[in-house]
Amino acid sequence: MRPDPETGVAEAPMRKAKSFVSVVLLVGGLAGGVGRTQVGRGPVVDLSYPFSAETVFWPTEERGFVLENVHRGYTERGYYYTANRFCTAEHGGTHVDAPIHFSEGRWTVDAIPLDRLIGPGVVVDVSDRAAADRDYRVRVEDFLRWEKRHGRIPTGAIVLIRTGFGRYWPDRIRYLGTDRRGPEAVAELHFPGLHPEAARWLVERRRIRAVGIDTASIDYGPSTQFESHVVLAEHNVPVFENVANLDRLPARGFTVVALPMKIEGGSGGPLRIVALLGR
Ligand SMILES: [Zn+2]
């Protein structure tokens, strides 16, 4: 608000008029959907799963997420007090892969600039293909098909890949392809991912900011060389894995905010990721 130059007092009627204008823009932005979202404010969608004993981790992690209660209840001094401690691998549940995870000398999780974690989001839905083939790898053609309908993927986009496997969470057999644990179970993993050629296309031809997926890994389950991880890490592109609720997002027209735990020197970490619709 602007104060009156003589009295120094802000004018209330002016403020009312301004908030009326934002309401109109909000409705216009939501109703208009694609591409008209610069001012409007819509709902916030939570794209993170809670961390619990059910949280899905890579089969090599024997323990998963461990929450240990330190105190719960009234203290001798009369006040209520609850506190826990937790133990977790960096790469489990909804988390980020920092570029250092697969490329020497690249950013650790605390070093990823904030502007690489906040940006315009798009959802590329390949759930039909993944339903027909649980080892499906997303191709360049899938992105080109998306662009025909929704326009070019914007430079600096955060590309979220929806395979539909989120509906299986946290059933390990359906989500990962196996509920066995230990190194030998890795060979039994079957879930969709991003083809390395498509990963290269996204970083070199569309210059994306970050990429996320609703499976346990950006490389598909049977991968042994993790080539998509390597391509993305070499280009300093953060990867979000086990992203939730992608079925609640439009194809575009929202902002992703993805803030991981700031572990100094970490190769990744637990991630709170949300989508701000209508902006
Ligand atoms: Zn990871």
CATH code for the domain of 212: 3.50.30.50
Going by the DSSP 8-state scheme, the letter that residue 183 receives in this structure is: G
For residue 279, the CA-to-ligand 1 centroid distance in Å is 28
Alpha carbon separation from 68 to 57, 79, 125 (Å, rounded): 18, 21, 38
Of residues 22 and 175, the one with the higher pLDDT is 175
For residue 44, the CA-to-ligand 1 centroid distance in Å is 24
For residue 94, the CA-to-ligand 1 centroid distance in Å is 9
Task: List the domain range (segments joined by +) for residue 149.
Answer: 38-49+90-277
Tell me whether residue 144 is in a domain: yes
For residue 75, the CA-to-ligand 1 centroid distance in Å is 40
For residue 275, the CA-to-ligand 1 centroid distance in Å is 20
The stretch 172-177 carries a mean pLDDT of 98
Tell me whether residue 44 is in a domain: yes
Helix boundaries (H) for 111-235: 127-132, 140-150, 172-176, 196-205, 227-234
For residue 91, the CA-to-ligand 1 centroid distance in Å is 4
Q: What's the domain count of the chain?
A: 1
Of residues 29 and 151, the one with the higher pLDDT is 151
Tell me whether residue 262 is in a domain: yes
Tell me whether residue 256 is in a domain: yes
Alpha carbon separation from 119 to 66, 112, 142, 209 (Å, rounded): 32, 14, 22, 7
For residue 223, the CA-to-ligand 1 centroid distance in Å is 14
pLDDT above 90 as % of the chain: 84
Neighbours of 54 (CB within 10 A): 14
Kindly report the average pLDDT of the chain as a whole number: 89
pTM of this structure:
0.85
For residue 64, the CA-to-ligand 1 centroid distance in Å is 14
pLDDT at 8 over 80: no
Tell me whether residue 59 is in a domain: no
pLDDT above 70 as % of the chain: 86
pLDDT in the model for residue 72: 98
CA dihedral of 105, 111, 246, 228, whole degrees rounded to 10: -10
For residue 241, the CA-to-ligand 1 centroid distance in Å is 6
Tell me whether residue 146 is in a domain: yes
pLDDT in the model for residue 31: 40
**Closest C-alpha among 95, 89, 261, 263 to residue 181:** 89
For residue 188, the CA-to-ligand 1 centroid distance in Å is 18
Tell me whether residue 32 is in a domain: no
